[in-house]
Amino acid sequence: MKKTNLQGLLLNWSEDLSRKSKVDEELINKLQPKMGLNELSIIGYNGTRSPFWMAKNYCSNLITISFLGCPNWEQLPPLGHLPFLENLVLVDMSSIKRIDHSFYGERNGPHFQSLKDLKFKNMKKWEEWDEIDYLQPFPQLKYLTIQCCPGLKSIPTLPFALTELCIEDVGIVKFPEFYEGTIGNVRDPVSSLPSSSLSQLPPLVVSKKQHELSLKKIRITNCTNLEQMSLDFFRNLRVVESMDIMKCPRLLTDETGDGLLPETLVVLNIGSCGTLDVLLLCSLFHLNSLMILVLEGCANITSLPGREVFSQLKSLDIVAIGDCMNLVSLGGIDAIKSLNNLPASLEELHICGCDHTMKMQLHNSLSKNLHILYEEDIEIIEEECGDQLLHRQKNKISNEDEESNDTEDEDTSDEEEDGENGETSASYLDDSSLMLTSSSSSASVSM
């Protein structure tokens, strides 16, 4: 491989699991790239060990790394020391059982200092993810996705800078904690547990301050072992826009409280989450931005909030209810009260898991201006709600652009001059962004 200025490299093995691991290991060690590589993808590698060159400075410029479908790879290489690494994707790494301290690199060095996007998916044997005591890994992390990792028991402390968190089909028992701030390499953790638990932490790192999380999108679903999720986590949310907490039936809390959800929330999906369902539903009263509310399998909910709550939900467009078999105040089985307390903005009510008699009662009691949709599957409801929200957001952006264009017309001459400069800059950026995939700067090797 003698390409000069190589910036992107894809190593793709055929789907032949009969190959011996040693053969793949010898081959990958011979494919050592030149310095300056920005993007590396390894697919279908059948070896058990990492290539030796990933532990050295040959990869110090890497920005994106993807390991996909490498069934025998047992231990990940040290990646935390890579100063420019921003994106890391690990999918179908079925022999990884533990991510230990070696993954972070040297103890006193940086630990993923530039990483922004981290994804783990379909790692069936993964059980342990080691915490680094009193150190701050992932200080710039914005997006964390962990999916289909049913054996994973815990997640290390996460940074407050995180904006999107997806934990789906994961075996954790306790929701992860978050930290903020550093003193050298020492982190200042803030427990997601009640304040009484903070006393168990070392004195130098305990923080009693209330910190605000940066999360805008949260999805916690199908975590059937999850038992601990403190209400302090919800109280620290200030900018979240979308929240899905579904199918976590063991979630139980002795705490009480309302006002757990911030006014910024636009989409709320809750269901089958133990006693948390009721607590979150009791926090709707001030959600002026809420557009979509989905309730699925909420066994502990017997009634929806009354007029005094719904009258404040000025933006609510869609309510979807699925398999809430004990609900009696809005589409319940035994009795249905008047639904005239629905807000004027509400356009659609989706119902799933209702018998014919209940449907007729709903139809007779609802406003004629409300569109009732009866679905066979709650997933259909969720998909339609997502499409509706996307459509509304696009319309909103379009309207804002039109208003902005009307304002810009007042300074046409200045804008044209700036526009010429902008086009030159945009053209330059487009050219540079193609470097990873252009024939002169990337390589694909299939084995």
pLDDT at site 414: 47
Residue 181 pLDDT exceeds 80: no
Higher-confidence residue: 229 or 431? 229
Q: For residues 200 and 229, give the distance between their C-alpha atoms in angstroms, rounded to a whole number.
A: 18
pLDDT band for position 7 (cuts 50, 70, 90): confident
Comparing CA positions, the residue from 24, 20, 82, 71 lying closest to residue 51 is 24
pLDDT > 70? residue 329: no
Report pLDDT for 427. Answer: 27
Is the model more confident about 135 or about 439? 135
pLDDT at 266: 95
How far is it, in rounded angstroms, from Cα 260 to Cα 133?
31
Q: What is the pLDDT of residue 387?
A: 56
Range 51-71 average pLDDT:
88
Q: What is the band of 60 on the pLDDT scale with cuts at 50, 70, 90?
A: confident
Say how far apart CA 391 and CA 102 lie, in whole Å.
Answer: 46
- pLDDT tens string 387-408: 555 555 555 545 656 665 665 5
Do residues 137 and 191 make contact, with C-beta atoms less than 8 angstroms apart?
no
Stretch 333-350: mean pLDDT: 49
pLDDT range class, residue 192, cuts 50, 70, 90? very low
What's the half-sphere exposure (Cβ side, CA atoms, 13 Å) at 398?
A: 6
pLDDT band at 253 (very low <50, low <70, confident <90, very high): confident
User: What does the pLDDT read at residue 313?
Assistant: 80
